[in-house]
Amino acid sequence: MLSLLGQKQRFCDGVTRRSFLQVGGLAMGGLSLPALLRAEANSPHPERHKSVIMVFLPGGPSHLDIWDLKPDAPVEIRGEFRPIHTAIPGVQLCEHLPLLSQQVERFAIIRSLVGAKNEHASELCFSGYGYRDSLVRQQPSLGAAASKLLGAVDPSVPPFVSLCHTTPNLWRDPGRAGFLGPAHRPFQPAGEDRQNMVLDGVTLSRLGDRKQLRDTFDRFRRGVDTSGVMDSVDVYTRQALEVLTSGRLLAALDLEQEPARVRERYGRGSLDAVDDGAPMNNEDFLTARRLVEAGARCVSLSFGRWDTHSCRKAGDLAYKNNFMQLREYLPRLEGCLLALLDDLRDRGLEQDVSVVVWGEMGRTPRVNANGGRDHWPQVSGCLLAGGGMQTGQVLGSTNRYAEVAQDRPIHYQNVFATLYRQLGLDVSQIKVPDLNGRPQYLLEQRDVIPELL
């Protein structure tokens, strides 16, 4: 996985460089905004940084059955669930979110989210652009942009990490690097990247031995420093080396280091895929917290399968009725979110880590013949928490049947503009060169959501 003083190699940008150091598939890092990073370094709390955890619900959760119930609509619209009162007067949520309802002041709910495409793909929830648009524009995800513009908080921890699970469809994309290039793609600890974390025959199991790790890497660093090789290594490969020669990332991924009471708070979940969707692995939320605490600026994860058509096809699995699925899914999502927010608060991170929870579309107002709801890109919604945002409020509304945004339509990209702002990036001012060297904005809809600031 590691080769020193190798042969000359031609890279995709046409530049020939001597591969002084080639490290598996780990090409990470990024050019930073010097002023911002100097400010971080000179902060009275230099270890503190802003991060985003992006929770993707593959398939599109039903807005009518979760945060925008219509109890006065006909039964074929309102469905089976009853609304319950929350800690915010006049705000109601689904009866299957009783704990979240009593702590709703920790969340901001957007009920009038627009800009979805009729596409089952993860891109919209990681970049603000639909799948087809992303292919044409090569638009980077938020995590890739944070990697490029802000760089690493700690050189041994990638700025952008994805815990998204592989699926046999377009929910699998963890967040594109796009025109920012492969140096800013997400590190995926469950995939090839984890296999590449092998150095000079030292396996992951041996890396767990802290004393051996320290002794081995001390000898390795002394050899590299005296050879002068490090002076010739470019920034991306150098950061890849930092990952390999530090135990910080591996420690963040090791949940065995967490006290049992913390792990029990999240629950274990399962690594078994939900049909063609992602597993519902509760511990991904805990891993996300450990990663942002270790230095990641953006962590993406996927949770379950929310495409609740309730359709039956010959030879396929018979998907559960929409309401049967949500009776199972909502308490699990509620438990994970509240555990994450409690954990962030207990560790002094709640004001520094923004959390967004959403899917790529909403569901049809009318329940179909199988007891399901079909695709509905006209309007959807999301939950936001943490990051110092103004929570305890509901933004926007839909019409009487939750068909369209009636009041205060908010685009997915406005949410992204706000999340960028929470990271310290003003997307109305920033342009980044694309693959042809042309400066490009990161978003088309660049207005932040003032109610959240």
Ordered DSSP codes for 143-166: HHHHHHHH--SSTTS-SEEE-PPP
71 and 82 Cβ atoms separated by less than 8 Å: yes
Q: How far apart are the C-alpha atoms of 131 and 133, rounded to whole Å?
A: 5
pLDDT of residue 398: 98
Q: How far apart are the C-alpha atoms of 175 and 56, rounded to whole Å?
A: 11
**pTM, 2 dp:** 0.83
Query: Could you tell me the two tokens for 38?
Result: 């100097």
Domain boundaries, the chain: 30-185+270-452
pLDDT of residue 84: 98
pLDDT of residue 9: 39
Residues 67-103: tens digit of each pLDDT: 999 999 999 999 999 999 999 999 999 999 999 999 9
Residue type, 323: F
**Which stretches of the chain score pLDDT less than 70?**
1-47, 191-245, 311-319
CA distances from 331 to 53, 61, 385 (A): 20, 14, 18
Give the number of other Cβ atoms within 10 Å of residue 5's Cβ: 11
| CA-based radius of gyration for the chain | 22
Q: Of the candidates 73, 67, 104, 74, which has an alpha carbon nearest to the alpha carbon of residue 89?
A: 104
Q: How far apart are the C-alpha atoms of 236 and 101, rounded to whole Å?
A: 45
Residues 333-365: tens digit of each pLDDT: 999 999 999 999 999 999 999 999 999 999 999
CA distances from 218 to 129, 207, 227 (A): 45, 13, 14
pLDDT of residue 134: 86
| Distant-in-sequence, close-in-space partners of 104: CB < 8 Å, separation ≥ 6 | 86, 87, 88, 91, 93, 392
The tally of CA atoms less than 13 A away on the side-chain side of residue 188 is 15
Strands 431-433, 439-441: pairing is antiparallel
pLDDT of residue 135: 86
| DSSP β-bridge partners for residue 441 | 431
Quick check: helix, strand or coil at residue 137? helix
Q: Of the candidates 256, 271, 338, which has an alpha carbon nearest to the alpha carbon of residue 303?
A: 271
CATH class for the domain made up of 30-185+270-452: alpha beta
pLDDT of residue 48: 78
pLDDT of residue 25: 37
